[in-house]
Structure 1
Amino acid sequence: MLTCRIALGAAAALLILGPVAVGADDPPPYASATDAYRQGVSTIKAGKVAAALPALEYAAKHGVLGAEIKLAHIYAAGRDGVPEDDAKAYTYYRAIADQYADISPSNPVAPFVGEAFVALGQYHLDGIAAMPLPANPAYAADLFRHAASYFGNADAQYDLALLYLKGEGVEKDVGLAVNWLAMAAKKQHVAAQATLGELLWRGTEVRQREARGLALITLAHENARAAGKEPKWIADLYAEAFAKSDAATRKEASALLPELGGGAVADAASAVAAKPASPIVLPAVGSAGKPVAPAAAAAAKSADTVPLGKPGAPPAAPIGLSVGFSGQGSDAQGLKP
C-alpha cells in the first residue's frame, strides 16, 4: 500500500511540473555576453585576473570585442598569475584583425585593430614555436604596412621602417624607411625619433643633417624621460650625440625643437659625458619585450570604453586572404624628415 501511494504521489508531481527534459542543455552561465564581459572587467579591477578568464572567454566566444582585446593583452604579457601564452594571444589578435581589417580608420575601434595588426606582424616576424607558427618576415611586412598606411599606426610605421632599413622581408630601401620614420616621428613616436635622428646625425646612408638629427635625438630623449621609461639605447645615443656636437650644432638643434614638437633645451643643463662612437642603433623588431607595441599599453587602459559588440561594419576577409594591402599607401609619399 505504501509503495502504491508513493507511486501515485510521484505521478501527481509529474502532472504538476510537466515532463522532465532529458539531455537538455544547461542554462548559460551568464545573463548575456555583455554581462560576462562586465563581470570579467570587474574581477580584473578587483585584482583577480585569473578568475576573470572564464567570463572574458565566454564574452569573446560570443563576439564581444572588448573581451578579445582584454584577453589578447593578458596572454601577450602574462599578468597576475596568468602565464604568458603567445599562441593564445595570437589567436585573439587574429580574431580582431579578421573581423575588423577594413573598418573605417575613423571608427573608435580602429586604434585597437591597428594594434592587433602590429602584434600579429611581430609574431609573424619571429614565429611562435608552440603553435607552430614559422617566421615569415614578408608577411609581417604586409601586416605592418596595412596598420601603417590604412590605420596610420605609428608603431607599425616604425616597425615597417626597420624592415626597410635592414632589408628584412622586403627589399632594402632607405628612402622608404626614412619616410615611414618621419611619419611616426611626427606622431611623437620616441623610437622613430631616435632612429631617424641617428640616421641624420651620423649621415648613415642619407645626407647628413647633424643639427636636425641632434634635435630629433634630443626630442626622443625628452619624450622618453617624460614618460618615465627611457630605453638605454636612447639614453646612450643622446649622451653620445650631445657630447660630440659642437656649440653651434647644439644651438641650431635647440632652435629646431619647437618645429618638431619639443621645447628648447639649455646647453648648460643638458651637458653630458662623451661616450665612444657606435654604429647606428637599430633595435631588432620583436627581439626584446612583448609583441604588444609601446602604444598598446596606453590603449589597454582605455579598452573598457571599446564598444562591446561589432560596430556594424560587415566582416572583413580573413587576414590570410587579401584585405586590400596596397603598396606603401599615399601617406608614405613625399615626406621629408
Structure 2
Amino acid sequence: MFEPSDDTPVGTLFRIGVETVQGTADGDDYTEMTGPNVFPFIIPFTDTIRRSCIRVVILDDALYESEEQFSLRFIAIKDFILPEDFVIDPSLLLPYNVVLDPPGSSITILDDEEVTVGFINPSYSAREDEGRMIFTVGVTGRYDIATDIELSFSTADNLISKTAAMAGQDYTSIINMPIILRPGMQTIQIAVNLTDDLLIEINEVFRGTLSLVTTDRVSLGLDNANATIIEDKRFLIGFENTSYTVNEEGEFGFSFLEVCVRMFEPSDDTPVRTLFRIGVETVQGTADGDDYTEMTGPDVFPFILTFTDTIRRSCIRVVIEDDALYESEKSNFLFDLLRFKT
C-alpha cells in the first residue's frame, strides 16, 4: 500500500484479488489463477497490513524453449466474503477510492534446458544411381524443443582420402545452407544431389559439416559425417581361358606359359576413372614346384596386374621347368584371382 503513508491510520479492511494473465507463457508453464472456475489470489489490507505477497508456481517442463512472459493484474474487492460461485467482475467491484497503480506486473520465465544437436550418424551412404545422399540431423539430448534452432550445413571434399569424391563431378556442393529444427521436430533430413555419370569408379567419399547459428543453450554434437557414394556399375574381370596346355620341353631347359586376364565389363567404350591392381598366384595341382616356378605363399609376392581406362587386358608368363623325368601329363596348376587392391 503506497498511499496513505504508514503513519496515516486506515479505518477499513479491504481485499484485492490478483489473477494471472496469459502471455507467451500459458498454463503449461505456470499454475494459472484466473477465470470463472478458478478463485484468484486474495490479498487483505488493513491499518496493520500494508504489504502482502503471493506465490505463483512455475512449472519446470522438459522443453527447450525461448524465454516466455505472463502477467499479474488486480481485481479489487470490498470488505465482504464472496460466494464460491460468484464470478468476479472487476468493473463492478473496484472501490471508488482505491487506485490500483501500477495495475499489473509482467513476469518473465527464463528457460534452463540445454540441448545438443548434430548428425545422428557418423556415416551415410547411397548408390550413385539413387541421385541423392541423405544426411539426418537432429536433437541428440534428452529434451524436446519448443523454439527454432538454426544450424548451417556445408559439404566438403574428403581430400585426405584416395577415394575422395569431387564437388561438381560426383555431387553438388552446398555451402552454408540454413537448417532449422522447428518445435516438435526431433530430426530433419538434408539431401545432397549425386551425379550419375557413365564412368566406372571405385566408391567415393565426401563430408557433410555442421555449424551452429543458434547458440543460446545449444551445443554441437557430431559436426562431421562421411558420405560414401557407392558405385552402381560393376567391374567384371577374369581369365580369358579356364584351362591351358603347355609342353614341358623348351630350348633352354624350360618353356613359358602365357596367361591373360581381361576386363570384360565395362565395355571398352565406357570410361574407367580409377586404377586398381589384382594379384594372381599359382596353386598346386598334380604339378608342383618341381614342374613350374611357383608364385604363392607368405614369402612370395604374386603376379600383380594393373588395370586402368587404357589397360583392359594384362598377361603373365609362368616358367615351366623341363626336367629329365618320364612322366604322365600332369594336371595344370591353377591360378586364383586373389584380391583387388586400389
TM over 0.5: no
Structure number having the greater helix percentage: 1
- TM-score category of the 2 structures, normalised to the smaller one: under 0.3
Normalising by structure 2, we get a TM-score of 0.16
Q: TM-score if structure 1 supplies the norm length?
A: 0.16
User: Rg larger in 1 or in 2?
Assistant: 2
